[in-house]
Structure 1
Amino acid sequence: MVITSISPLWFHKGDGISEVALSLHCFLQENEVNSSLLHSNNNKTKLFPMSNTTLSSMVDSNVFGFSSFSCFLKYVYCSKSDNFILHGVFQKELLLSAIILILKRKNFLIIPHSSLNITTYTNFPLYKRCVFKVISKFILKKAKAVIYLNENELNNSVYKGNNFALISNGVSTGSFKDIYEPDPKVLKLCYLGRYDINHKGLDRLIRFLSFLKVNYPDLKWSVDMFGSDSKNGKKALLDLIRSLSLENNININGPVFGEEKQECLARCDLFVLTSRYEGMPIAVLEALAQGKKCLLTKETNMLEPLLQKGFAIEFCSSDYDKTAMQLLNYMNVSQEVKKREAEEIHTYAKLNFSWSNIALKYRRVLEGKK
C-alpha cells in the first residue's frame, strides 16, 4: 500500500503536528506501507534554526521538501499515490492539495489537529469563517474520513459530517525512566509546551498557584516549566509570576527534546496542563509514558478517561479549593502506592497509544476496514 502524507514541519521548537506527522510516517513504514511525507512549508522552516534535533533526526529519504509553492503543487498533482493523509485544514498548501486530490478522485484523510474545535472557531476572523463554510461543503465532505482523536474532539467540532473516524495520537513508549527519588514534603509539578498564555491556560495555572501559596501555606510545591516562546508569551508570563511573588517557586526554562524531555518528566511528581482547548496533547501522552499522573483541565480532552482509571486529578478553574484538596490527598499517598501507580500508568500508555498500533488503524481506515 502506498500512502503520502502532507504536513507543515517545524524543527526550531517542540511542535505536536510535526511530531505526529513524522512519527506516523515512520511507523507506517514499519507496517509494510510505502510511506512518503511532503513537507508543505519547507521554505518557511529554513528561516529558523534546526534546534529540535529529535524531530529532524526522523527525516528520511522519503520526506520531501520543495523549493517553491508551485513545485509542491506540481508534485501533488503528479503523484502516483492513491492514498493521502492531510495534517491540518486551513493552510493554503493543504486546501489546494485537497482540491487536487478531489479532482483526481484520490482517497484522503484529514486530521484537523484541533483546528475544527468550536472554541477555536468562535475566535476565527470573518474571512476564516467564510473559508470554513466552503471547506465544510466541499472538502471535508469529500474526505474518506475526518480523523478525530477522541469523542470529546468529535463532539466539540464545528464540522458535523458522518464521515469520521476516531484514532488517538501516539507516543513512543519504549523507555520508562524510574530515576526519581521524590521529596515527600515538596510537590514537584512539570509543564511542557509553548508559552502561549491563553491557549495553554497558563494564567489559570499561575493564579491558582498564587492562591495555593496564600491559602495552603503548609503545602510546599515547585513548578518546572519547559517550552518555546514561539507565541511571544514568555515576558507576560514572567511579569505575572513576579507580580504575584512566585519567582522562587516557578522555574521558566527553554524547550527540551528527546532524552532530556523524558528526564524532566521523570523528575516530577505530576504533569500539569491547564489548557482552554486541545485535541489530544502529545505532552500528556509523553507524561503517561513516563508513568506520571496528570493535573488537567477538562478542555485538554484527556481528563475523563484518565479520571476513570485514577491516573489524573482535575484542575477546577472555578473551584481552587477543590483542586488544592486533591493535591493534599495526593501528597498523603504512600511512595509505595505511587510507584505501583506509575507502573500502571506506563502500561496503560503502552497498550493504548503505541505508534505501531496507531499506524495500523490509519492503514485500515484507508483500506475501508473498521
Structure 2
Amino acid sequence: MKAPKRVILLTPSMSKGGAETQLLKLGLFLKSEGEQVLIISLKPIDEFKEVLKKSGLEVLFLKSWSAHFISNFRTLYGSVKKFNPDVVVAFMFIAIIFARLLKTRLKFKLISSIRISVLPAKWLLPFKMTTGLDDAVVYNSAASKSNFESRNRGLKQGIVIHNGIFIPDEVLPVAEKGDVFKWICVGHFRWNKDYPTLFKAIALIKDQNFSVDIIGEMGDATWPYQMVEELNIKERVNLLGFQPDTSVYLKQADAFVLSSFSEGMPNAVLEAMAHALPVLVTDIDGNRELLNAVKCGFLFEKQDEYDLAGKLLNIMNMTVAARKTLGESGRQYLRTEFSEAAVMQQWKTLIEKTE
C-alpha cells in the first residue's frame, strides 16, 4: 500500500476568488483520497471560514507582513520544513515566488499554477530570477499558456488543467422565469472587473425592461452606489454584495454578463454555463477560448460600453428557443471539459507523476 502524499497548497490568501476556490476543491479532493494536505495562506485573509472549519483541512494563516515580516518568514520556513512535503502546489505569482525560494533550501517537488497571462510589474524581477525551479507549470486555459509563455521565455513547458466546475443535474426551464429579463453578474469589485463599463452600458439602454443582479464583495467601496445614482440606473441595478451561494441567483437568471478587462479562465463564467445561461463576456484570453470552442454566447470589446449595450439588447431580443440553445451548448461542453471529477483526477495524476 502506497504511503499518503504530503502536499502543501500555497496561496496568497483565502479570498473568495476563482483560484482560491479551485485550490480548496483540490485540497478537499486530495484529503478524500487519503493524502495529507496543508494549506498555507500568505495573508491572514479567510473568506472560507465555515467551509474550512467543516472540512478538517489543516490551514496555516500568516500574519500581516507589514508588522510581522521577519516572524512570517520564520513561520513559513519552519512550517514547511516540519510538514516535509513531497509536493508543493503554488497558486498565483507571489505564492510561486515564495515556493521557489523555499525550494532552494528544502527538498520537495514544485507545481506552479499560473492563473492569468499578464505578470504584474511588481513581481516581474523576482519571478524571472527564480525561473527554472518549477518541476511542472499548470495553466487553467490554453490561451493563458500560449500568451504567458510567448512573453516569458525560459519557462518550463506548461500543461493545461481546466477549472473544475460543479454541474447541476437540472436547471430551471427558461419559460418558468419572470417577465422582466434578468441578467446576473458575479465578480468582486476589483480593478479588473471594470464595473464602470457595465454601468455605462446599462445606462445606454435603461429604458428597456430588464434588471441586473450584481454579486460580489464590495468592501468599503462607495463609488458603485454613487455611479449607479449618477447614471440614474437604480431601477435596473441590484448591488447584492457577497452571497455565499450564487447558484440561487443563477437559477433565476436569463443570461450572464461580465465586463472584466483581465481574466484567466473565470469561474463565474463557467458556473453560468453550468446553469445553461447564455453568456456575454469581454473579448479577452480565457473568454475568447471558451466561446471559440463552443457557441454559448457573445464577446464584446473590452472597455466599450456601446458594444456591450448593443449585445445586451441582442440577447434580450433573441427568442427563448435561441437563448436555450446557447445555454445548453455551454452546459454540455462543460460536462466533457470541466467536470470536477475529471479535473481533480488530472491534478492527482500530475502530483503522482511529479514525485
TM-score after normalising by structure 1 = 0.80
Q: Quick one: structure 1 residues 135 and 178, their matched pair in 2 at CA, closer, same or farther if it must change by over 3 Å? A: same
Residues 9 and 17 in structure 1, CA contact (< 8 A), matched pair in contact too = no
Matches within 5 A, 1:60-209: 60-64=56-60, 69=72, 70-91=74-95, 95-114=97-116, 117-118=117-118, 121=120, 124=121, 128-129=122-123, 132-138=124-130, 140-157=131-148, 158-160=151-153, 161-178=155-172, 181-183=176-178, 186-196=180-190, 198-209=191-202
- 1:248-299 CA distances to partner (integer Å, 9 max, x unpaired)? 11111121113xx101011111111111101111111111111111110022
Which residue is equivalent to 1:36? 37
**TM-superposed deviation, 1:319:** 6.0
When structure 1 is superposed on structure 2, of 263-272 and 313-322 the one drifting more is 313-322
Residues 37 and 58 in structure 2, CA contact (< 8 A), matched pair in contact too = yes
- 1:25-81 CA distances to partner (integer Å, 9 max, x unpaired)? 112344x35140323247x237xxx6x566435632444557863333212123333
Matches within 5 A, 1:229-244: 229-230=218-219, 232=220, 234-244=221-231
**1: distance between equivalents of 2:192 and 2:25?**
24
1:25 aligns with 2:51: no
- 1:315-342 CA distances to partner (integer Å, 9 max, x unpaired)? 2347655544544443343324434543
Root mean square deviation of aligned Cα: 2.9
**2: distance between equivalents of 1:204 and 1:329?**
18
| Alignment match of 1:248 (pick from 235, 257, 261) | 235
**2: distance between equivalents of 1:137 and 1:58?**
39
Question: Structure 2 unaligned runs (5+)?
Answer: 64-70
Q: Quick one: structure 1 residues 54 and 329, their matched pair in 2 at CA, closer, same or farther if it must change by over 3 Å? A: farther
| Alignment match of 2:52 (pick from 53, 56, 75) | 56
1:347 aligns with 2:332: yes
How many residue pairs match? The answer is 338
**1: distance between equivalents of 2:54 and 2:323?**
34
Residues 28 and 35 in structure 1, CA contact (< 8 A), matched pair in contact too = yes
**2: distance between equivalents of 1:15 and 1:319?**
25
TM-score after normalising by structure 2 = 0.83
Q: Quick one: structure 1 residues 108 and 345, their matched pair in 2 at CA, closer, same or farther if it must change by over 3 Å? A: same
Q: Quick one: structure 1 residues 58 and 72, their matched pair in 2 at CA, closer, same or farther if it must change by over 3 Å? A: farther
Matches within 5 A, 1:215-226: 217=207, 219-226=208-215
Residues 8 and 87 in structure 2, CA contact (< 8 A), matched pair in contact too = yes
Q: Secondary structure of 2:89's partner?
A: strand
**TM-superposed deviation, 1:220:** 2.6
Q: Quick one: structure 1 residues 151 and 312, their matched pair in 2 at CA, closer, same or farther if it must change by over 3 Å? A: same
Q: Secondary structure of 1:104's partner?
A: coil
Q: Secondary structure of 1:147's partner?
A: strand
**2: distance between equivalents of 1:57 and 1:83?**
24
| Alignment match of 2:10 (pick from 3, 6, 20) | 6
Residues 143 and 289 in structure 2, CA contact (< 8 A), matched pair in contact too = no
Residues 316 and 323 in structure 1, CA contact (< 8 A), matched pair in contact too = yes
**2: distance between equivalents of 1:229 and 1:41?**
22
Residues 137 and 159 in structure 2, CA contact (< 8 A), matched pair in contact too = yes
**TM-superposed deviation, 1:16:** 2.4
| Alignment match of 1:278 (pick from 239, 246, 263) | 263
User: Percent identity, aligned pairs only?
Assistant: 20
**2: distance between equivalents of 1:74 and 1:312?**
49
Amino acid at match of 1:249: R
Which residue is equivalent to 1:45? 45
Amino acid at match of 2:274: A
**TM-superposed deviation, 1:204:** 1.1
**TM-superposed deviation, 1:152:** 1.8
**TM-superposed deviation, 1:305:** 2.5
Q: Secondary structure of 1:141's partner?
A: coil
**TM-superposed deviation, 1:202:** 0.7
**2: distance between equivalents of 1:85 and 1:33?**
17
**TM-superposed deviation, 1:143:** 0.3
Amino acid at match of 1:220: N
Residues 4 and 83 in structure 1, CA contact (< 8 A), matched pair in contact too = yes
Q: Quick one: structure 1 residues 35 and 341, their matched pair in 2 at CA, closer, same or farther if it must change by over 3 Å? A: farther
**1: distance between equivalents of 2:54 and 2:114?**
22
